[in-house]
Structure formats: structure tokens, C-alpha cells
Amino acid sequence: MTKPIFQLKNIVKTVNEGSAEELNILDHINLDIYPGDFITILGSNGAGKSTLFNTIGGNLKPNSGQVIYNNKDITKTSVVKRTAFLSRVFQDPKMGTAPRMTVAENLLLAEKRGKKHSLVPRNLKSQMNKFKKLTKKMNNNLDKRLTTATGNLSGGQRQTLSFLMATINKPGILLLDEHTAALDPKTSQQLMDITDNTIHQEKLTCLMITHHLDDAINYGNRLLVLHQGKVSYDISGEEKKNLTKEKLLTFFNDIQ
């Protein structure tokens, strides 16, 4: 049987400890994530989605419970060390790319991330052809802007670059934090297509937070609904394939 690549075991994150406002913003979360899972995550504001990603990414340490990657306890592993196997794309296109560096320099930086020194590509020149091919596939002229400072790109191009940087080393786990939310509908759809293709072609394991019910239904093999720090629904297989917006809305009504 396939073993989980990533696990959250009884994770609790408490805020305002000892006060009248004490609250478990992650409330005994248990989650087994399998290789190739593409999990869409829905939840109303304050449900705990960002806290969940911050716990997986290592930005937040849980009060109790364990974070496991490939059977290893990484609960105390730093954010920097986790970049060897984990990438994240944020909502804001400005995050994740260095504005004064060119597109190619950013890609080189991403290639080096988390790698041993001996495995690092020597210089930019040797990588240019590869970067050209990679960016050409994006179909948004990013390939013609390899020597442009990232700060001068459009929001869509910059977010596509963030996505490329996050996936260039085939991370063990990819976190997409509403990564298309700041883009116009057409650009957002283009990036979702690129996202879906890349995840399938590279067989990535991915968690994607979204507020779009359609995206949560149409993409991925599994859907989680978070509510008040708990996983209220974990839908996969045929149930996920046959899920409709109406059914999803009834789930939301039931947990309110």
C-alpha cells in the first residue's frame, strides 16, 4: 500500500494562551497526504488555512503534535531547511521573486535553493537555454524577458515566474496559497492551466488554498473543507469527481 509522503499528527496550535480568548486555531488536525495528491482547500475567513500552511512550511511551530515528511519528524525543522523539499507560492506576485534581479537570475537562484554546493549549476550562461525552453512553455512572453528585472514584469508574468521557481526543483510538497487570486480572470485561468499541467506532468504533491468553489471542484483529486481549525470534510475518489457546487454549498451550510 502507498505510504503517505506527508503527515500531520494531532496538530494543535493555540493562541492567546492562558487568557479568556484562548483558542485552538488548529484543533487536533490529522492528515495523511499521499504522493501525487493534489488537494484543494476551502474554508471561510479565519478557518485556519494560512495557519495550516504556516505549520506545514515551518513558519509556525505547533503547541503539540507532529509534522512528518517521508517518515521523518520535521516538526522542529526550520523554514530554510524545509526549502530542500518544500516550495510555496503566495497570493502576492511580489513575494517569492527578487525585484532587482532578472528573470534568469531568479530562476538560477531557485535552482540552487536547498541543493548541496556540488550540485549547484555553475553559471547563468550554461542554464540560459533551459530557462528559455521552460519560460516559452508559459505562453506569456516570459521567455523574451529573461534579462528583464523582475520588478518590471506584469503581475501575471511575475506570478508565473514565482510558480516556475517553486516547481523548478520538483519539490516533495508544493503549497499554493491562493496563488491566482490577485490576477485578472484570464491570467488567473492561464496560470491555473499551467499549474494543473505541471502538477500532473511532474507528478507533484500539492495543496492549494482557494476561495473559488469551481477551482476547488475542478482541480485536484481531493478536497478539504476547514472550519474552526478542524478538517470538516475530506472528499476524494468518486465523491470528489461527482461533486457539484450545490452539494458543496450544502456542506458549508451544515457546518455553520
**Which CB, 145 or 227, lies closer to ligand ATP?**
227
Q: Which one of residues 3, 10, 15, 218 is an interface residue with ligand ATP (CB under 6 A)?
A: 15
Q: Check residue 2 and report its DSSP letter.
A: P
Closest CB to ligand ATP among residues 149, 182 = 182
Count of Cβ atoms closer than 10 Å to residue 179 Cβ: 26
Distance CA 25, CA 15 (A): 7
State the binding string over 35-64 for ligand ATP (x if CB under 6 A, else -): --------x-xxxxxxx-------------
N-to-C CA span, the chain: 36
Say how many residues make up the chain: 256
CB of 194 to ligand ATP, least distance (A): 24
The rounded Cα 46 to chain-centroid distance in angstroms is 18
Residue 146 or 175 with smaller CB distance to ligand ATP: 175
Q: In this structure, are strands 86-89 and 23-33 parallel, antiparallel, or unpaired?
A: unpaired
Residue 220 Cβ, how far from ligand ATP at the closest point, in Å? 18
CA distance 221 to 38: 6
Residue 45 or 256: which CB sits closer to ligand ATP?
A: 45
Number of chain residues interacting with ligand ATP (CB under 6 A)? 11
Interacting residues toward ligand ATP by CB under 6 A: 15-16, 25, 43, 45-51
